Amino acid sequence: MQKEIFFTEEEMQIIRVCLHNAPIPYDQGEGAKKLKALQEKTGPPISREEPGISKVKYDLTPYGIYDDE
């Protein structure tokens, strides 16, 4: 008898990322086939676009480094 388990979208994203980044031992032999089957069931991780940090500007002219921008 199988028990049905439901995951939230956030939990599924965690599972997708973990399967995508599975350690080397699971990428070899019979484990590779099972890993691939699980990855196909869950799908690829959903990528997100996050704004990066702004570029920090330092005055390095005292050290002979000049910004050519």
Could you report the per-residue pLDDT of 1-55, keeping only the tens digit for each? 788 989 999 999 999 998 888 776 655 677 778 888 888 899 999 988 888 888 8
Task: Tell me what pLDDT residue 21 has.
Answer: 85
In a domain, 1, yes or no: no
- SS3 at position 64: coil
* pTM to 2 decimal places: 0.57
Task: Tell me what pLDDT residue 69 has.
Answer: 57
In a domain, 62, yes or no: no
In a domain, 53, yes or no: no
How buried is residue 37: exposed, middle or buried, by Cβ count under 10 Å (0-12/13-18/19+)?
exposed
In a domain, 43, yes or no: yes
In a domain, 24, yes or no: yes
pLDDT at 68 exceeding the cut of 80: no
In a domain, 11, yes or no: yes
Provide the domain limits for residue 34.
Answer: 7-47
Q: Which residue has the higher pLDDT, 35 or 62?
A: 62
